[in-house]
Chains A and B, each alone.
Chain A
């Protein structure tokens, strides 16, 4: 070892006053290394050592702080100190030659070095503890921030990314994986630092024990990770996911996660669960709103298909009414005057309800209007319509239909009833006649054949075509409203203006249902020949 000790050629000021400036250095926290170096230099000069190094305890080892001369290792064990080493509180001086005289000024400097070394060690300890306290604040802030995200972040991707990165950062992990529940499985949303299992079974006993902190991590969770902890992401209504972190970093390599880390991860996952659930509910609300908008659009389209008023028919009163059970329905009616002033009345009911039924209503409307341009409203038209519906609809879908043609001046009504509820014809004298079915519903089987039937509407007669949503309206006791009640109502109020008569029927069925929600679409078409 060779020591560049102060001597001839050194700083003359320092030579003249070796203590000068030491007090000032002692006042400065950041000047500890310089102060120690100056003291070691003075110690070396006083003791006559050729080379000397100061070692201070750090993490159970002695680390070289100051070296005057070459060849001193950067780290030593206590056991490595020879007899010539000069012990200090929390450190030692290693001297060449060993046991250089530590008397007189050197002995006093040894004491001083001990004080400064202790001071430095305490300052380092305070710094470390301050660091730890600050990092606890960072942890709390992370929990707080994720809590804030409950109200502030509705971007699922960003939130999931933030949750994963913060979990890694908080626990000094090298790897992590975030799973979110989907269709009864935990599916990997994202991973960091390596591969992770694509999917985990929610009820897997090994996984359940692991998430409870009572068992090892499933090996496929973070393959090749040495240490793994994981916690459930859970809300009141059930599990939402899993957050797992692996391989805790320390300055000396990887280490197991202490129990405190698990507690932090649980707290963090609880906050993350609320934030993620908030985002999920928000997305669900957006999707519901979108569907509602689409349904409203479909309902609007259907409203445009159904007549908004009745065409004038000299000598008759005519009124049509429809109310779907849902936003869109499967009932259909049409009131159409042909070029020769004959009136065509149609009432139909598509099997099923909701959007699929509404789509078939649209098909029925288009086909019927096109066919009416080419065929008279009779059996051939209905047969062609049936073939079209059969070709263009799903299996087991069909339409009941009553198609009637009226020659207004003569009162001659010719109709085809394809499996629909019998129309009610209330004669002026009080008798009730039924316009019964004369064929199967359209679209049910290939090659259906139909027959037309005729009746005469005389002055004062009232015709009622309806869908089963009226007669099959149920009371709380599951009793049907029935066609007899309908006929009685019609008979009792047969002279009312038709819109009022429809209101009466609506009120009667509503009272009959006694709060039970409307289960089926309801349609009424009323045609009354004026009394002579």
Chain B
């Protein structure tokens, strides 16, 4: 098991999907934020973060995700998460992320709602 993480993006009909792999910590969190801000600069106002490849998130990773959520609120955009492990989903609910960014079971369900 390694701590390495990487982030990729797919742009799909007005929704940018950010895929994460591995441990969302300080380093990976910053990478997600960098990608998200680039997408915002490109004009995307709807972001979906697919955490299907992530089994672990720490408090710093969460605090960075909160900053991204705040940024999306600031620009009147939308951010959602999908494909979370039960542990990460529970953590997001406790930490309040789920109040501002809906959580979907999978990408198909998320895109159907975000595009609707």
Contacts and interface: CB of A to CB of B under 8 A. Distances in A.
A135 interface: yes
B112 interface: no
B70 A169 contact: no
B23 A138 contact: no
Contacts of A391: none
Contact of A193 (B2, B57, B96): B2
Interface in A123-167: 130-131, 134-135, 137-138, 141, 145, 162, 164-166
A164 B23 CA distance: 13
A170 to B, nearest CB: 8
A138 B58 contact: no
Given A134-B94, A138-B94, A251 B59 contact: no
Interface residues of B, number: 24
Contacts of A173: 58
A165 B96 contact: no
B113 interface: no
B95 A250 contact: no
Nearest to A130: B96
B83 interface: no
Interface string B19-34: 0000101100000000
B3 A135 contact: no
B56 A249 contact: no
A41 B2 CA distance: 49
Contacts of A145: 87, 90
Residue among A135, A138, A145 with the most chain B CB within 10 A?
Answer: A138
A354 to B, nearest CB: 43
A30 B73 contact: yes
B23 A168 contact: yes
Contact of B91 (A33, A138, A162): A138
B87 A192 contact: no
A251 B26 contact: yes
A192 B1 contact: yes
Interface string A280-294: 000000000000000
Nearest to B64: A251
B96 A33 contact: no
B70 A249 contact: no
B15 to A, nearest CB: 23
Contact of A141 (B55, B58, B60, B94): B94
A191 B87 contact: no
B46 interface: no
Given A134-B94, A138-B95, A169-B58, A193 B87 contact: no
B66 interface: yes
A314 B42 CA distance: 106
Contacts of B55: 165
Interface residues of A, number: 28
Given A166-B87, A191-B1, A135 B26 contact: no
Contact of A131 (B23, B91, B95): B95
A194 B90 CA distance: 27
A480 interface: no
Residue among A145, A174, A249 with the most chain B CB within 10 A?
Answer: A249
Contacts of B56: 165, 168-169
Interface in A19-53: 30, 33
A175 interface: yes
A175 B3 contact: yes
A130 B97 CA distance: 12
Contact of B59 (A30, A135, A166, A190): A135
B87 to A, nearest CB: 7
B40 to A, nearest CB: 15
A137 B3 contact: no
Given A249-B60, A251-B26, A174 B66 contact: no
A380 interface: no
Residue among A30, A134, A164 with the most chain B CB within 10 A?
Answer: A134
Contacts of B91: 138, 141, 169
Contacts of B3: 174-175, 192-194
Nearest to A175: B3
A211 B55 CA distance: 28
Contacts of A172: 25, 58-60
A261 to B, nearest CB: 12
B60 A251 contact: yes
Contacts of A33: 74
A169 B73 contact: no
A255 B72 CA distance: 31
Residue among A130, A145, A193 with the most chain B CB within 10 A?
Answer: A193
Contacts of A250: 26, 60
Given A30-B73, A145-B90, A192-B23, 4 more contacts: A134-B96, A193-B23, A194-B2, A250-B60
Interface of A: 30, 33, 130-131, 134-135, 137-138, 141, 145, 162, 164-166, 168-169, 172-175, 190-194, 249-251
Q: Which 4 A-B pairs have CB atoms at the shortest separation, nearest pair first?
A: A193-B3, A172-B58, A192-B1, A165-B56
23 contacts: A131-B59, A134-B94, A134-B96, A135-B59, A135-B62, A137-B94, A145-B87, A165-B56, A165-B87, A166-B87, A169-B57, A169-B91, A172-B25, A172-B58, A173-B58, A175-B3, A193-B3, A193-B23, A194-B2, A249-B58, A250-B26, A250-B60, A251-B26
Interface of B: 1-3, 23, 25-26, 55-60, 62-63, 66, 70, 73-74, 87, 90-91, 94-96
